[in-house]
Structure 1
Amino acid sequence: MGYGICLETWGDYALFSRPEMKVERVSYDVITPSAARGIIDSIYWKPAIVWRIDKVHVCNPVEFTNIRRNEVSSKISARSVDSVMNGAAKPLYINTNEDRQQRASMILKNVRYIIEAHFELTDKAGETDTIEKHYNIALRRMRKGQCYHQPCFGCREFPANFRLLEGDVPESGLIGEKDLGYMLYDMDFTDPENIKPMFFRAVMRNGIIDLSACEVVR
């Protein structure tokens, strides 16, 4: 844990979709660990390291609002891509005017989180991949506000601002314990042919969700 980081991130809106909602999008009450990891990955990602989320500090009270958005109702299949790459003469695009549909979403507003995380070396790390090297690069990028692509809160239209938090973590002001139920933890990519979701029981105590010793259910 000596090479951990503390990242503050905030934005106007967020949508961390519950998978059990099939038609309309409904957000979880707080950011999911996979979304938190995605924000850090957008800042600094390498095959040699993997980020682990330790704690999530919820700084603002949970507030919801409703919106309606236009979304595409289909996607390009892998079979179509393969056929075009093999010489098939057929269009490879989505006509948004024809495949567009309007969907309601219950999203979060005025969100602010503090993410405590650390990284571990993977089996793809080489001889020159040291913990100190990647740690210093990650700190430098976070201090300068650099990222590979704009981090977001669940959807690209909800950008996430971020800054490296150095020093003591401020208290959130949320008092008490709240059981948020089962939430998506992350996706298990161990078998690329059978990717499985992982869940955990989220409990927020005084605005903090501790993930360092949570039980993950597959």
Structure 2
Amino acid sequence: MRNQIEFIVHGKYALFTDPISRIGGEKFTYQVPTYQALKGVVESIYWKPTLVWVIDEVRIMNPIQTEVKAMRPTKYQNETNDLMYYTYLRNPAYQVRAHFEFNENRPDLAYDRNEHKHHNIAKRAVERGGRRDIYLGTRECQGYVEACVFGSGEGFYDHYGELSFGHMFHGFTYPDEGDSESFQARLWTPVMKEGVIQFKRPEDCDIIRTIRSDSMKEFKQGVNFTSVEEEYSLIMEEGEQ
């Protein structure tokens, strides 16, 4: 597929929080990463409002193992600490395949739609481990990105067959990627086949619910936006030096 990147992301721990477990404060991780979590990883590698990243598939490389940790977060009602138990994934590693499309809700940024330069910058960012810090679900779970060929190497679930994870959170649809006027949440039922989960596109999810009305953020060149042409020129200058 055009505009595609492939990489492996790994870390010591991950916490892809099940929303149900947030109510009591004791967070419990999903067994596999959500679409939204992986999209966050990709956007930390490279993102512009001109683009919309689509996560195509993820390959689970290591066995799904959990570890419980005692935490002392701040209480909701005051500033004292409480004792909570968080359940993390241990030693997670995922091969990810994703591609970008131009954001049709941003006609004001049409001048920035240089497919070739965006793709080159994204691939370069993958090779360098991303532009921003990578997190696996939550900030305390540091992740690391490396370029790879999707499907290479041996994965723990390569010959496992088929496994369903039931209803899971898929992701959020922000106004600038949806109907331009509402913030939505999506649910779906992922199925892992031979270690690989192929994601549905956001608009094809089983359940989509509107959370609230919202509006798109405005971007202006020279104020809070830099065109890909300027970025690409700077990168080429750095490479020559």
| TM norm structure 1 | 0.82
Residue 6 of structure 1 aligns to a residue in which SS?
strand
Residue 167 of structure 2 aligns to a residue in which SS?
strand
Which of 98, 107, 120 is matched with 1:117 structurally? 98
Kindly state the Cα deviation for residue 194 of structure 1 after the two structures are TM-superposed.
4.8
Residue number in structure 1 paired with 2:161: 176
Q: 1:16 to 1:167 in 2, by over 3 A?
A: closer
Residue number in structure 2 paired with 1:91: none
Residue number in structure 2 paired with 1:9: 9
Would you say the 8 A contact 1:57–1:114 is kept in 2? Answer: yes
> Please, what is the CA RMSD of the aligned residues?
2.2
Residue 62 of structure 2 aligns to a residue in which SS?
coil
Residue number in structure 2 paired with 1:43: 45
- Alpha-carbon distance in 1 for matches of 2:207, 2:154: 30
| TM norm structure 2 | 0.75
Q: 1:217 to 1:42 in 2, by over 3 A?
A: same
Q: 1:181 to 1:168 in 2, by over 3 A?
A: closer
Would you say the 8 A contact 1:32–1:185 is kept in 2? Answer: yes
Map 1:20-31; keep pairs closer than 5 Å: 20-21=20-21, 22-23=23-24, 24-31=26-33
Residue 27 of structure 1 aligns to a residue in which SS?
coil
Map 1:133-144; keep pairs closer than 5 Å: 133-144=117-128
Map 1:1-218; keep pairs closer than 5 Å: 1-21=1-21, 22-23=23-24, 24-74=26-76, 98-123=79-104, 124=106, 125-148=109-132, 150-166=133-149, 169-174=152-157, 175-190=160-175, 194-212=182-200, 215-218=205-208
Higher normalized contact order (CA 8 Å, seq sep 6+, divided by chain length)? 1
Q: 1:65 to 1:192 in 2, by over 3 A?
A: farther
Letter in 2 for 1:217: I
Q: 1:185 to 1:138 in 2, by over 3 A?
A: same
Would you say the 8 A contact 1:185–1:216 is kept in 2? Answer: no
Would you say the 8 A contact 1:177–1:204 is kept in 2? Answer: yes
Kindly state the Cα deviation for residue 212 of structure 1 after the two structures are TM-superposed.
4.6
- Alpha-carbon distance in 2 for matches of 1:167, 1:156: 26
Kindly state the Cα deviation for residue 74 of structure 1 after the two structures are TM-superposed.
4.2
Give the structure with the larger strand fraction.
1
Give the structure with the larger helix fraction.
2
Residue by residue, what CA displacement relative to the aligned partner does 1:125-173 show, whole Å, maximum 9, x if unpaired? 332421111100001111122422x111111111001111147533423
**How many residue pairs end up in the alignment?**
196
Any gaps of 5 or more consecutive residues in structure 1? 76-94
Q: 1:4 to 1:65 in 2, by over 3 A?
A: same
- Alpha-carbon distance in 1 for matches of 2:187, 2:71: 28
- Alpha-carbon distance in 1 for matches of 2:6, 2:47: 16
